[in-house]
Amino acid sequence: MKTLLSRKFLIAIVGATVVFGNYMWNWGLTEEQVWSVLTPLLAYIGVEGFADIKSR
């Protein structure tokens, strides 16, 4: 259960929702706008993953 409530997982779900929602429900976001949302989310996941690796 802890994995399903982790910040990294929830942020991944938000990113997937933006991409999926824009594709399926035509939210009208351009590719650049989608990437401007995804880039900080992916960077956060990467940095937190690196911090987790360093702490182990």
Percent over 70 (pLDDT), the chain: 98
The full set of domain ranges for the chain reads 3-55
Q: What is the pLDDT of residues 5-44, one digit of tens each?
A: 899 999 999 999 999 999 999 999 999 999 999 999 999 9
Distance CA 40, CA 49 (A): 14
Q: Please report which helix (H) or strand (E) contains residue 35, including its range.
A: helix 31-55
Q: What are phi and psi of 30, to 5 degrees?
A: -80, 170
Is the pTM value of this prediction over 0.95?
Answer: no
Average pLDDT, the chain: 94
* Structure confidence at residue 1 (pLDDT): 66
Q: What are phi and psi of 3, to 5 degrees?
A: -65, -40
| 41 three-class SS | helix
Sign of the Cα pseudo-torsion (48, 1, 35, 33, in order) = negative
